[in-house]
Amino acid sequence: MPAGGNAHAVAAAQIGELVEHLPAGSPVPLCVFDAGYDPPSLARQLAEVDGERVAVLVRLRSDRCLYADPTPAAGPKIGRPRKHGRKFACADAGTWWAPTDQHTEEHAQYGRVQVRAWAGVHAKTQHHPAKGSYRPKAVVRGALILVEVEHLPRQTRIPKRLWLWWRGPGHPDLAVLWRAYAATRKSPTMSVGSHPTRPSFGPDPILCMRWE
């Protein structure tokens, strides 16, 4: 990427080219991003393919905060409607509500794996084209995913919580998603601009690419 370039725009352009060249009937590609990419910015750059023709999985910082939709106001509406509801702080378990989905399994390399998801949450948009104007800001909803493992393959350090953001068509398959992230982390050939691969972590392989 050229100096001063927009990483989100470059990634979106690469994804758009990938989608256009997929054969008819191909599975929806899953694009995996490391921390540093912003989910709302990605969604904005992906435009018409966002959430429909491609799924994205983004690693989030452990101090990230997201929000539920606001509850409907009782009585007459005064002023601007609220855009953000209950706050979910990844670093504060006291703010977490019950997950909308969860998955648990035993894995040869990671031991007991627990995956939880909170669907329909969104982040506050900080950088957007409408900033400084009266135009409404788009709310980008997705699923927040928490992956916790008993131990790491090499057992050289204590595993930390892994926070991921997913956005795509249908519902997230937690058993597939945590393995997809782990698979791309293991492959040294998966990087920006690399050829997609099909990790065999399920009966229906998913086309994956990784952006660092």
From first to last of its 212 residues, the chain has per-residue pLDDT tens of: 455 568 888 888 888 888 888 888 888 889 898 888 899 888 889 988 887 888 999 999 999 999 999 987 666 666 666 788 999 999 999 999 999 999 999 999 999 999 999 999 999 876 555 555 555 577 899 999 999 999 998 878 889 999 999 999 999 999 999 999 988 776 433 333 333 444 333 334 445 556 55
CA distance 51 to 183: 22
CA distance 116 to 152: 19
Residue with tokens 């104007």: 133
Residue with tokens 């690399």: 194
The number of domains in the chain is 1
Report the predicted TM-score, pTM, of the whole model to 2 decimal places: 0.81
Residue 104, in any domain of the structure: yes
Residue 103, in any domain of the structure: yes
Residue 2, in any domain of the structure: no
Longest dimension (CA), the chain: 59
Range(s) of the domain holding residue 33: 7-70+82-211
Residue 142, in any domain of the structure: yes
Instruction: Of 180, 133, 123, 138, give the one whose Cα is nearest residue 45.
Output: 138
CA distance 105 to 197: 25
Residue with tokens 């084209």: 129
Residue 76, in any domain of the structure: no
Residues 153-198: tens digit of each pLDDT: 887 888 999 999 999 999 999 999 999 998 877 643 333 333 344 4
From residue 57, alpha-carbon distances to 109, 167, 177, 192 in Å are 22, 7, 8, 15
The H or E element containing residue 57 is strand 55-60
Residue with tokens 């068509």: 169
For residue 199, the model assigns a pLDDT of: 39
The H or E element containing residue 55 is strand 55-60
Residue 77, in any domain of the structure: no
How is residue 199 written in tokens?
A: 């990790």
Phi then psi for 56, rounded to 5 degrees?
-120, 145
- Mean pLDDT estimate for the chain: 81
Residue 171, in any domain of the structure: yes
Residue 1, in any domain of the structure: no
